[in-house]
């Protein structure tokens, strides 16, 4: 049964923090993998899960730097993984499967945003390769551990930026169409949502449920490709260069922005739900359809406008199945 894309009345708000969500939650029997867990929202996500008792593994390309950022947080360890190196994804999963019987929580949070056009060694555009395909491959490789958990959750950190672009199947990697960084980011974030739809359809019979979410806009290293003037112009930073915190207008602290991923990973309200897109610690509404910029037109720009809801093209099960088939071919993996 498909879960309705409608709020459940969680009792939390845009101002709730990850610590609020996990107050009284006991995760001592859980193992979690948090990609992107050594930067920005990921650090707070890893801290909150570990604080509730989970054993947390953070994959990172720079293990030394990641270890320094996470120093002092009990029950967190760092392992090497580079999402632009397919062999390192497989190696990480093999190490995990050899050492751990099961995996209760997988938070797919690593990401890049606003990069100039670049492709990995396979010729795949870097936003799509990192934000979507790398997590597709990792989840598929960790599938046996997720199934063994007999009640696992896979949480994909997407963005309201999925509004910037649907998935362009005819030219995923920008070989023919004009390149715009935020459109490329938007395509990858749409991919995150569609992935949750298709994964939940496959996983629910095995006790594996999947979710995607918009965390809310917070000033983190994800915005490093935008200068201070740009971030001040859209209201992320104030005139003194300090982060603006106003959750009612979609501008959150790191602690607030990490809350929805933690809620998706642990809330009992979602025990019989899956495949949905969430925001502000609840299931989001479906948004009205609107046309994204056409190829060749001026593309989207970074914004913190309070977009709410999920675009219909991002939760369409037929599009999700098409993306799954393409992703399995490009990554060379699927479940099992």
Q: Give 59-91 as a DSSP string.
A: EESSHHHHHHHHTT-TTEEEEE--TT-HHHHHH
Q: What integer pLDDT is reported at residue 336 of this predicted model?
A: 64
Q: In terms of C-beta density within 10 A (0-12 exposed, 13-18 middle, 19 or more buried), how is residue 310 classed?
A: buried
The answer to whether the CB of 14 falls within 8 A of the CB of 216 is yes
Q: Is residue 3 part of a domain?
A: no
Q: What integer pLDDT is reported at residue 239 of this predicted model?
A: 75
Q: Is residue 196 part of a domain?
A: yes
For residue 150, the Cα-to-chain-centroid distance in whole angstroms is 22
Q: What integer pLDDT is reported at residue 72 of this predicted model?
A: 93
Alpha-carbon distance 266 to 51, whole Å? 13
Q: How far is CA 328 from CA 31, 133, 158, 168, in A?
A: 26, 9, 20, 16
The answer to whether the CB of 267 falls within 8 A of the CB of 21 is yes
Cβ neighbour number for residue 215 with a 10 Å cutoff: 25
Q: What integer pLDDT is reported at residue 296 of this predicted model?
A: 43
Q: What is the pLDDT along the chain (336 residues), one digit of tens a residue?
A: 568 899 999 999 999 999 999 999 999 999 999 999 999 999 999 999 999 999 999 999 999 999 999 999 999 999 999 999 999 999 999 999 999 989 999 999 999 998 999 999 999 999 999 999 999 999 999 999 999 999 999 999 999 999 999 999 999 999 999 999 999 999 999 999 999 999 999 999 999 999 999 998 875 566 555 667 766 766 677 777 787 777 878 789 999 999 999 999 999 999 999 999 999 999 999 987 665 555 444 456 555 555 789 999 999 999 999 999 999 999 999 886
Q: Is residue 12 part of a domain?
A: no
Q: Is residue 255 part of a domain?
A: yes
Q: How many residues does the chain have?
A: 336
Alpha-carbon distance 302 to 230, whole Å? 9
Kindly give, in sequence order, each residue whose CB lies less than 8 Å from that of residue 128, ignoring residues fewer than 6 positions away: 172, 173, 184, 187, 188, 191
Q: What integer pLDDT is reported at residue 298 of this predicted model?
A: 44
Q: How far is CA 202 from CA 160, 165, 195, 208, 220, in A?
A: 25, 25, 11, 8, 33
Range of the domain at 154: 18-331
Q: Is residue 113 part of a domain?
A: yes
Alpha-carbon distance 185 to 61, whole Å? 20
pTM assigned to the model? 0.92
Active site residue ranges:
185
For residue 253, the Cα-to-chain-centroid distance in whole angstroms is 17
Q: What integer pLDDT is reported at residue 41 of this predicted model?
A: 93
Cβ neighbour number for residue 334 with a 10 Å cutoff: 15
Q: Is residue 6 part of a domain?
A: no
Alpha-carbon distance 57 to 50, whole Å? 10
Q: What is the CATH number of the domain that holds 214?
A: 3.40.50.720
Q: Is residue 9 part of a domain?
A: no
User: Strand pairing partners for 159?
Assistant: none
Alpha-carbon distance 292 to 35, whole Å? 29
Q: Is residue 49 part of a domain?
A: yes
Structural domains counted in the chain: 1
């Amino acid at each position: 049964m498909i879960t309705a894309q409608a709020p459940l009345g969680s009792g939390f708000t845009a101002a709730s923090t990850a610590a609020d969500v996990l107050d009284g939650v006991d995760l001592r029997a859980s193992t979690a993998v948090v990609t992107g867990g050594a930067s920005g929202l990921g650090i707070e996500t890893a801290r909150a899960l570990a604080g509730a008792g989970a054993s947390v593994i953070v994959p990172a390309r720079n293990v030394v730097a990641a270890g320094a950022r996470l120093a002092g947080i009990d029950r967190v360890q760092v392992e090497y993984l580079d999402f632009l190196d397919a062999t390192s994804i497989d190696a990480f999963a093999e190490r995990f499967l050899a050492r751990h019987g099961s995996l209760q929580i997988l938070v797919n949070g690593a990401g890049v945003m606003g990069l100039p056009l670049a492709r990995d060694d396979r010729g795949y555009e870097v936003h799509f390769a990192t934000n979507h395909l790398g997590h597709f491959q990792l989840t598929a490789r960790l599938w046996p551990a997720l199934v063994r958990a007999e009640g696992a959750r896979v949480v994909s950190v997407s963005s309201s930026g999925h509004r910037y672009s649907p998935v362009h199947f005819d030219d995923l990697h920008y070989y023919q169409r004009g390149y715009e960084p935020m459109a490329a980011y938007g395509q990858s974030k749409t991919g995150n949502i569609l992935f949750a739809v298709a994964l939940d359809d496959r996983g629910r019979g095995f006790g594996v449920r999947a979710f995607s979410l918009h965390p809310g806009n917070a000033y983190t290293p994800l915005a490093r490709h935008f200068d201070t003037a740009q971030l001040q112009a859209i209201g992320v930073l104030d005139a003194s260069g300090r982060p603006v915190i106003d959750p009612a207008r979609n501008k959150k602290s790191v602690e607030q922005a990490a809350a929805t991923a933690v809620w998706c990973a642990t809330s009992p309200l979602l025990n019989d739900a899956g495949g949905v897109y969430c925001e502000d610690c609840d299931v989001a509404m479906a948004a009205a359809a609107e046309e994204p910029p056409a190829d060749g037109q001026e593309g989207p720009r970074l914004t913190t406008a309070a977009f709410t809801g999920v675009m219909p093209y991002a939760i369409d099960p037929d599009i999700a199945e098409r993306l799954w088939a393409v992703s399995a071919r490009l990554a060379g993996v699927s479940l099992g």
